[in-house]
């Protein structure tokens, strides 16, 4: 082979290798980190959190991705344990491929990330955390983009409802941590606005369903309404034991519970009539375009799964994140994603919207109350 031909072949090989590298770089996955409580007291919720994002990301990847790039979600189980959330988030942010965080759970868990400066050091947006804790919203921090209303919004709505019905003796059963205390404070502020005080505030220990003392305190208070700031298993235990002890107050719970799980664990007889505040539109009736889209993709990608508020909320969060990735351009970085999300002022998700800006990270304040009906289904 002569020298000129060898050099030409070498140049061709180099050009081909460079073209392949550029193509690979352009087609590299967009990597997202999601933590969820897939074990422990919030395991059923964690499963739904992952499912909601999964069906939307699968749809995006099947229809061309974002600027031709597929989304790859690295899911890890933090068991709803604060120290695991911190450890796993540090690990995720140490991976330079990760451009955003998505769908974490727990006021105390996410609060610790803020307190320890983990989000600030990593410089990545956390989109749609499954928490309404006020300390994550005020004072303002630039890293967390909330898709849901806060617990203060939810508790104000519930207190408004019970006081409109003429009830003045209101008790709170709450988880003894940042999550429970955030909800408790919301109820207290809503009552103070109406010149009322709590009948009793009864705590239970985080990551347990030890609620017997809370049942005793609430029953002794003769409350007309009980607002629970609690997760699935302790909520179910409280509802069951309180009703079986003869407690007759109207029961309410904040939005983080799965009503189907409460019916299963507490029994329909006890759970019937429980009011649950909601921070996203009713997903069971296809009245909005985004609900129709969610139901269709759930049927396509997870045909054995049922419509669920938690998976729908995280579906909305996934839509917000994908729009942020689109706006960030073909080579998204953590900083570009933050700026892109910030630009989403009054973004329509399909009949419900979110709005962010340079000084606002609370995308929605939507709240309504639903009730577990006589068949165990959730009614508006």
Give the model confidence (pLDDT) of 186-236 as tens digits.
999 999 999 999 999 999 999 899 999 999 999 999 999 999 999 999 999
Query: Could you give the C-alpha distances from 69 to 231, 246, 344, in angstroms and in order?
Result: 37, 58, 21
| Chain CA centroid to CA 147, Å | 8
Long-range contacts of 134-141 (CB under 8 A, 24+ apart): 134/182, 134/185, 134/186, 135/107, 135/111, 135/178, 135/182, 136/107, 136/110, 136/111, 137/361, 137/362, 140/359, 140/361, 141/114, 141/361
Please report, rounded to a whole number, the percentage of residues in the chain having pLDDT higher than 90.
89
Query: Could you give the C-alpha distances from 241 to 217, 218, 375, in angstroms and in order?
Result: 12, 11, 21
- Asked whether 320 and 342 are in contact (CB, 8 A), the reply is no
Average pLDDT of span 7-33: 58
Sign of the CA dihedral running 37, 43, 45, 49 = positive
For 288-309, write each residue's pLDDT tens digit: 999 999 999 999 999 999 999 9
CA dihedral 298, 303, 305, 307 (to 10 degrees): 40
- Weakest-pLDDT range from 18-27, 108-117, 356-365: 18-27
Q: What are phi and psi of 198, to 5 degrees?
A: -65, 145
Contacts of 10 (CB under 8 A, 6+ apart): none
pTM summary value: 0.86
| Chain CA centroid to CA 300, Å | 23
pLDDT grade, residue 380 (50/70/90)? confident
pLDDT grade, residue 2 (50/70/90)? low
Name the percent of the chain in helix, strand, coil, to the closest 5.
Answer: 50, 15, 35
pLDDT grade, residue 99 (50/70/90)? very high
Q: State yes or no: pLDDT of 5 exceeds 80.
A: no
Give CA angle at 244 (242, 248), nearest 5°.
60
Query: Could you give the C-alpha distances from 355 to 222, 339, 342, 362, in angstroms and in order?
Result: 42, 13, 9, 7
Q: What is the mean pLDDT of the chain?
A: 93
- pLDDT number for residue 7: 53
Q: State yes or no: pLDDT of 18 exceeds 80.
A: no
Tokens 């009793």 -> residue: 200
């Amino acid at each position: 082979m002569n020298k000129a031909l060898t050099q030409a072949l070498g140049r061709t090989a180099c050009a081909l290798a460079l073209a392949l590298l550029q193509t690979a770089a352009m087609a590299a996955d967009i990597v997202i980190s999601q933590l969820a409580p897939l074990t422990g007291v919030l395991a059923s919720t964690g499963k739904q959190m992952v499912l909601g994002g999964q069906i939307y990301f699968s749809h995006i990847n099947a229809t061309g991705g974002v600027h031709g790039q597929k989304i790859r979600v690295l899911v890890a189980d933090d068991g709803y344990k604060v120290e695991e959330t911190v450890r796993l988030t540090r690990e995720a942010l140490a991976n330079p491929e990760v451009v955003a965080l998505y769908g974490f759970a727990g006021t105390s868990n996410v609060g610790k990330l803020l307190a320890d400066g983990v989000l600030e050091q990593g410089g990545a947006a956390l989109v749609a955390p499954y928490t309404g804790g006020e300390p994550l919203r005020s004072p303002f921090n630039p890293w967390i983009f909330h898709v849901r209303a806060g617990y203060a919004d939810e508790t104000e709505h519930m207190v408004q409802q019970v006081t409109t019905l003429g009830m003045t003796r209101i008790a709170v059963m709450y988880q003894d941590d940042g999550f429970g205390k955030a909800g408790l404070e919301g109820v207290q502020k809503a009552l103070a606005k109406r010149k009322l005080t709590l009948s009793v505030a009864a705590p239970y220990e985080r990551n347990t369903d030890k609620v017997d003392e809370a049942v005793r305190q609430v029953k002794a208070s003769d409350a007309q309404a009980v607002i629970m700031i609690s997760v699935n298993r302790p909520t179910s235990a409280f509802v069951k034991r309180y009703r079986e002890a003869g407690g007759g107050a109207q029961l309410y719970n904040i939005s983080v519970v799965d009503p189907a799980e409460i019916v299963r664990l507490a029994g329909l007889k006890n759970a019937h009539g429980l009011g649950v505040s909601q921070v996203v539109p009713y997903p069971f009736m296809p009245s909005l375009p985004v609900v129709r889209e969610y139901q269709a993709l759930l049927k396509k990608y997870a045909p054995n799964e049922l419509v669920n508020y938690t998976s729908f909320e995280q579906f909305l969060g996934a839509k917000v994140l994908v729009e942020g990735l689109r706006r960030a351009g073909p080579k998204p970085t953590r900083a570009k994603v933050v700026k892109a999300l910030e630009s989403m002022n009054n973004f329509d998700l399909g009949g419900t919207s979110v709005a962010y800006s340079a000084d606002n990270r609370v995308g929605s304040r939507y709240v309504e109350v639903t009730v577990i009906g006589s068949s165990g289904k959730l009614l508006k």
